[in-house]
């Protein structure tokens, strides 16, 4: 059993892999609207927490199209690294960008879950890093792929969770100055309520 070591603002980074228009159209485990909401919420919350964010696409000009516009809008000024490799970690520029964060705990999300999120996450584990996958900010093309992807990642030592839990773990304290921004980014009814409570606590 691995000892629990919390995610923090100082040890975590977010890696977003292949949230592209062409791939989004094939996702079947989440609706397009829900998946877009979750990915954008993850990105905005990570920004509010000042986490390093690495974004990459595969063959955006020839196969899968660009990153969906709502995510690009949520991450102004962040370079999106386009590559040809199936495993994002196999691209030297992506690997350098991840290493440049200096973080040992990497939160991945990607389309598809069992390839674009799983492959780099499992690679991170083999490199001695802690890998997490935000399952509901990822997506895939069938229930079989969803279940087999989860099983394979867990067998390889990847920690699976949901995007909101990972972000509130990093927030840590609802009285923190960033709490309202984080809960606003999460954009969920309970998050809005907690954000209001956090704002009231600071008054």
CATH number of the CATH domain containing 97: 3.40.50.850
- Do 166 and 182 reside in the same domain of the chain? no
Q: In the chain, how many domains are there?
A: 2
**Mean pLDDT, the chain cut into blocks of 10 residues (203 residues total):** 88 98 94 96 98 97 93 96 98 98 98 98 98 97 96 97 97 93 83 59 60
Predicted local confidence at residue 34, as pLDDT: 95
Token digits for 56? 């990459």
Distance CA 184, CA 155 (A): 34
Do 136 and 191 reside in the same domain of the chain?
A: no
pLDDT at residue 198, rounded to an integer: 58
Is residue 89 one of the residues assigned to a domain?
A: yes
179 and 154 housed in the same domain:
no
CA distances from 98 to 33, 74, 123, 130, 146 (A): 28, 20, 12, 13, 25
Dist CA 137 CA 120 (whole Å): 15
Residue 63 is predicted with a pLDDT of: 87
List helix spans (H) across the chain. Answer: 21-24, 32-48, 69-74, 92-101, 118-126, 143-155, 163-171, 179-186, 189-202
pLDDT computed for residue 159 by the predictor:
97
105/193 same-domain check: no
- pLDDT at residue 55, as a whole number: 98
Model-level pTM?
A: 0.92
Q: Do residue 125 and residue 182 come from a single domain?
A: no
Q: Do 99 and 165 have their domain in common? A: yes
Residue-level pLDDT at 193: 61
Task: Determine the structural domain holding residue 185 and report its residue range.
Answer: 172-203
Q: Give the per-residue pLDDT at 202.
A: 60
In a domain, 4, yes or no: no
Can you give the pLDDT at residue 30?
Answer: 93
Query: What is the reported pLDDT for 47?
Result: 98
Catalytic site positions:
116
Query: Are residues 153 and 76 part of one domain?
Result: yes
Do residues 17 and 54 both lie within one domain?
Answer: yes
pLDDT of residue 151: 98
d(CA 20, CA 64): 6
Identify whether residues 94 and 158 lie together within a single domain.
yes
Whether residue 112 is preceded by a cis peptide bond, meaning omega within 30 degrees of 0, is: yes
Tokens found for residue 128:
């001695």
């Amino acid at each position: 059993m691995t000892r629990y070591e919390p995610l923090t603002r100082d040890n975590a980074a977010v890696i977003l892999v292949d949230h592209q228009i062409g791939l989004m159209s094939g996702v079947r485990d989440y609706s397009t609207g829900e998946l877009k909401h979750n990915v954008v919420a993850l990105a905005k919350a990570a920004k509010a927490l000042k986490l390093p964010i690495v974004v990459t696409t595969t063959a955006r000009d020839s196969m899968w199209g660009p990153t969906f516009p709502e995510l690009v809008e949520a991450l102004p000024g962040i370079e999106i690294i386009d590559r040809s490799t199936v495993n994002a970690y196999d691209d030297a520029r992506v690997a350098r960008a991840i290493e440049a964060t200096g973080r040992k705990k990497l939160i991945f999300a990607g389309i598809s879950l069992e390839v674009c999120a799983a492959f780099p996450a499992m690679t991170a584990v083999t490199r001695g890093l802690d890998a997490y996958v935000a399952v509901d900010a990822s997506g895939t093309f069938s229930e079989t792929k969803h279940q087999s992807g989860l099983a394979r990642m867990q067998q390889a030592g990847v920690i699976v969770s949901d995007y909101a839990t990972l972000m509130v773990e990093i927030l840590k304290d609802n009285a923190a100055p960033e709490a309202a921004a984080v809960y606003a980014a999460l954009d969920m009814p309970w998050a809005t309520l907690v954000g209001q409570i956090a704002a009231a606590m600071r008054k």
